[in-house]
Amino acid sequence: MRRLGDPAATLARNRIARIEAASPDDLSALAVARERQLNTAGWENFRLPGGYDAVAATLAEGTRIRLNAPVTEVSWASAGAVVTLASGETLPARAVILTASLGVMQRGLIRFDPALPQRKRDAIGRLRMGPASKLILWFRRAFWPAFSFLGADRQLPSWWRAAEATALVGFAGGPDAIRLGELGERAAIEIALAELTALFGPDARNEFLRGALMDWPSEPWILGGYSYTPVGAGSAREDLAEPLSTLFFAGEATSINGHVGTVHGAIESGWRVAAEVMSGMR
């Protein structure tokens, strides 16, 4: 048994915190083990040359999308639902699929009439929205040796090569992401360049072009990175995923097959909810 003061135990705790975007003292080891057991997607990471928006564009084909139309209220009943936008416009619907992030729901940014049942509110409150951030750096040329993933005990603890041949992506999850966001973009880029210089030499600065910080906890429609299961959450994910009359719930936080915190988990939850809506409409 490793003691908490042991360097290997510290490394393991930090590693799991970064992957799960969680505080290791709050994360449920039982839930993580169960999610790993249920997972059927494997542990490979895939990069899309055109970016993630290619997925959204493909899924949106043939549908009507309203942009810049934040929802402030959802009125729901067995006969149908009405969605109210920030502009005051109302949209009637036979059913509503809620894909708002866990962070948005926990802040109460969307009102429900009638209020969600206590069991649903408890599920939202029991889960945690973990912080996560990415820092992308572009260079004139690739000066680094070939690698797929690089882990380092630094402020930017994880690096991988972007789909673009001359860009690197730094990732921070859990407490590391909070600290990175507090630095701000300019300071985060400076620290990243210093750490890459220590790893790869002066070309990190000499070949640098520009950088961008994606601080998802500060994004108003996300307010975090992705969800994790804390100690005592129990069946919170299953309770969150359960439909209510004409109100349905999707998104990575509702994943019940071990694919939490992932793009494929979010997509799979959409397939599940689509089947639920079709069944309900029949």
The domains of the chain, with CATH numbers, are: 76-121+222-281 (3.50.50.60), 132-218 (3.90.660.10)
Res. 153 pLDDT band, cuts 50 70 90: confident
CB 128 within 8 A of CB 22: yes
CB 10 within 8 A of CB 217: no
Task: Give the end-to-end CA distance of the chain in Å, rounded to a whole number.
Answer: 55
Kindly give, in sequence order, each residue whose CB lies less than 8 Å from that of residue 245, ignoring residues fewer than 6 positions away: 76, 77, 78
CB 16 within 8 A of CB 176: no
With residue 238 as reference, give the H or E element that holds it.
helix 236-241
- Each residue's pLDDT tens digit, 167-203: 999 999 998 899 999 999 999 999 999 999 999 999 9
CB 225 within 8 A of CB 177: yes
**CA atoms of 76 and 62, how far apart (whole Å):** 26
> Side-chain half-sphere of 246: how many Cα atoms within 13 Å?
19
Length of the chain in residues, anyone? 282
Kindly give, in sequence order, each residue whose CB lies less than 8 Å from that of residue 145, ignoring residues fewer than 6 positions away: 200
Confidence at residue 280, expressed as pLDDT on a 0 to 100 scale:
79
Confidence at residue 5, expressed as pLDDT on a 0 to 100 scale:
63
- Each residue's pLDDT tens digit, 11-29: 777 778 788 899 888 999 8
* Overall average pLDDT of the 154-165 stretch: 84
Q: Which of 222, 223, 218, 229 is nearest to 260 (CA)?
A: 229
Q: Which of 137, 135, 161 is nearest to 47 (CA)?
A: 161
- Each residue's pLDDT tens digit, 238-258: 999 999 999 999 999 999 999
Among 84-98, 154-168, 249-263, the minimum mean pLDDT is found in 154-168
